[in-house]
Amino acid sequence: MHNETLAMARLLIARLERLSVDSYWAHQASGLRRSLMRCVDELEKMPPQAEESHRRLERLMRRGFDILERAARELGDPGR
């Protein structure tokens, strides 16, 4: 589970980085990306039992997915 969570966090970081710079959500995502990267780095150096760091990463990831979802809604349907 530990490696899967870290892999998902890295994917989330990459997706947040791709938000359009013109988007309100890109600004929101930039600080969150830094926090996610810092947390992932910490967890890679710690034993898998670092419970508090895992909870922190999960909170950050929930926020990141929320930002991606809101940014996608802002874009709307490109076919329209």
The predicted structure's pLDDT at residue 61? 97
Tell me: pLDDT of 48 over 90: no
pTM score over 0.75: yes
Tell me: pLDDT of 79 over 70: no
Q: Which position has the token pair 């966090």?
A: 9
Q: How many residues does the chain have?
A: 80
d(C-alpha 76, C-alpha 37), whole Å: 29
The predicted structure's pLDDT at residue 68? 94
d(C-alpha 64, C-alpha 72), whole Å: 12
For residues 57 and 41, the answer to whether their CB atoms sit within 8 Å is no
Percentage of the chain surpassing pLDDT 90?
52
The predicted structure's pLDDT at residue 20? 84
Segment 17-24 mean pLDDT: 86
